[in-house]
Amino acid sequence: MTICPGCGSTSTSKLFEVTADEASRHFINPRQYPDRSRKLTCHLSDLWGGNTCDVRKCSDCGFGFADPFVAGGAEFYNLALVYPCFPTMKWEYARTIEELTGLDTLGKTTLEIGAGLGYFLDCVKNKFFNISDISAADYNEISLSVLESKGFKTFSSDFRQSSFDPLKDSFDFIFMFQVFEHMDKVDDVFARLNYLLKTQGTIFIAVPNENRTYYMEAYGSLVDMPPNHIGRWTKEAFSAICERHGLQLSKCEREPFDLAKFLKQDIVHSFLRKAQKPGTLSEFVRALPRSKAQRIAQGLTALAISPSRLPAWAYAVSNASTLGGSALWARIDKVS
Ligand SMILES: [Zn+2]
């Protein structure tokens, strides 16, 4: 019997399964990196204790999750991510800034977990918070040196561990954007957030919009592959975990649908999905050495497969209001 990590219900069902080889191909092209690809496949089998991982969904809170519910660790990310990418402006940043505008932030302390290169913190420093009141946690060494050079107080240790320096009730605001969906032991995460947060403090979380994930999987685009993302959060799942930890889910909103953004992402993602299939033109082009010519070839191949996306786009446009954009955003308050 599998228990939903979101709400604790036993009413869950299997959506599909992935093999270690399929998951490995999602991250690494074996033609391009044969050795790395083999190591990643082995590592995934070890992590899962077998050759497959299921993706299940809870019928009570809608939470979707990898089973086994285990996150990728440093070894996984070192093998799977060849070029780490650091985002710039995102809707969830703008939405959080809009929310902060209505709050008393003067002299308040903040922590961003998974701060990347500090793009979000750059947007809020001086405007809402003093630099000396801003802390940033990340694993990545490039991130840490950039964050430090910008004057933020940095932490490289896992905020769930007791070795993470800040004390109880350290922060008025905690930000966690596109991080929580990577995490297992979600009750430990929430217990720790609660511990670090002051009373009357607020957490802002953004995760992928699960409606977009299911659209992509149903229409032959990328799979939201474990063990990179292992949780598909919903408003109901956030509500359940907040309740268990005495926190209040004050707001939960889906990013609005934006046609131009949608089309751009869909073309890229469906090309990347095709490039996972051995012997396709997309796979061949994707595996060429990185150069300007390769980028142009990738762009042309992606455009060439676009007409086959028309049925998917027709579906998306006619369901735009429920489908929404890339992110699901939540404001969580510690009221007592
Ligand atoms: Zn559930």
pLDDT of residue 330: 98
pLDDT of residue 174: 98
User: Could you give the CA distance from residue 246 to residue 40 in angstroms, rounded to a whole number?
Assistant: 39
Q: Say how many Å lie between the CA of residue 61 and the centre of ligand 1.
A: 4
What 73-76 contacts at long range (C-beta under 8 Å, 24+ apart), as own/partner pairs, is 74/139, 75/43, 76/40, 76/43, 76/44, 76/47, 76/227, 76/228
Q: Say how many Å lie between the CA of residue 326 and the centre of ligand 1.
A: 22
Q: Say how many Å lie between the CA of residue 51 and the centre of ligand 1.
A: 25
CATH class of residue range 91-257+326-333: alpha beta
Name the phi and psi angles at 114, rounded to 5.
75, 55
Q: Say how many Å lie between the CA of residue 233 and the centre of ligand 1.
A: 10
Q: Say how many Å lie between the CA of residue 59 and the centre of ligand 1.
A: 7
Any residues with CB less than 8 A from the CB of 308 and at least 6 apart, and which? none
User: Which pLDDT tens digit goes with each residue over 75-84?
Assistant: 998 899 877 6
Question: What DSSP line would sit under 174-239, residue for residue?
Answer: EEEES-GGG-S-HHHHHHHHHHHEEEEEEEEEEEE-HHHHHHHHHTTS----TTTS-EE--HHHHH
pLDDT of residue 331: 98
pLDDT of residue 85: 72
Instruction: Report the b/e string of 127-153 with b at 16+ CB within 10 A.
Output: ebbeeebbbbbbebeebbebbeebebb
Tokens for 245, please give them: 């930890």
Q: Say how many Å lie between the CA of residue 7 and the centre of ligand 1.
A: 4
Whether the predicted model's global pTM rises above the 0.85 cut: yes
User: Could you give the CA distance from residue 55 to residue 93 in angstroms, rounded to a whole number?
Assistant: 29
Residues with CB under 5 A from ligand 1 (ion): 4, 6-7, 9, 58, 60-61, 63
Q: Which regions of the chain carry the CATH code 3.40.50.150?
A: 91-257+326-333
Contact assessment for residue 140 and residue 114, using Cβ atoms and an 8 Å cutoff? no
Q: Say how many Å lie between the CA of residue 236 and the centre of ligand 1.
A: 8
User: Which pLDDT tens digit goes with each residue over 117-133?
Assistant: 999 999 999 999 999 99
Amino acid type, 169 = D
Share of the chain above pLDDT 90, in %: 75
Q: Say how many Å lie between the CA of residue 254 and the centre of ligand 1.
A: 19
pLDDT of residue 16: 97
User: Which pLDDT tens digit goes with each residue over 236-254?
Assistant: 999 999 999 999 999 999 9
Tokens for 60, please give them: 């009570």
